[in-house]
Amino acid sequence: MEALFAAALGILTASGVYLLLRARTFPVVMGLTLISYAVNLFLFAMGRLQTGVASVIGKSAEYGDPLPQALVLTAIVIGFAMTAFVVVLALRSVGETHTDHVDGREPAQ
């Protein structure tokens, strides 16, 4: 199971980096989103989440660590806000430059 999880993280990260290196704004936004998802899954993996344990301290001898869950929840909220900001920024750039190329110029033919 760990190998499958590591492969999924690697695929998400590689896809995100590939999309970040594209020259258009929408793939760049999607690449940032994929890398954000990969980081969230990585934080969950580092938290050693267990199934069937109490989520509140004191109900049993074993309990789930709430810190990775809180970190991922915060990262999801911040990631959503930053994605919305970057989309609005990209739309404004397209409106002013009339191209969706990341540097505002069309590539030379």
**Measured CA angle at 85 (ends 16, 26), to 5 deg:** 40
Contact 99, 106 (CB under 8 A): yes
pLDDT for position 88? 94
Note the pLDDT tens digit of each residue in 22-76. Answer: 888 899 999 999 999 999 999 888 877 677 777 666 666 676 777 888 888 999 9
Residue ranges of the alpha helices (H) in 21-99?
A: 25-46, 66-97
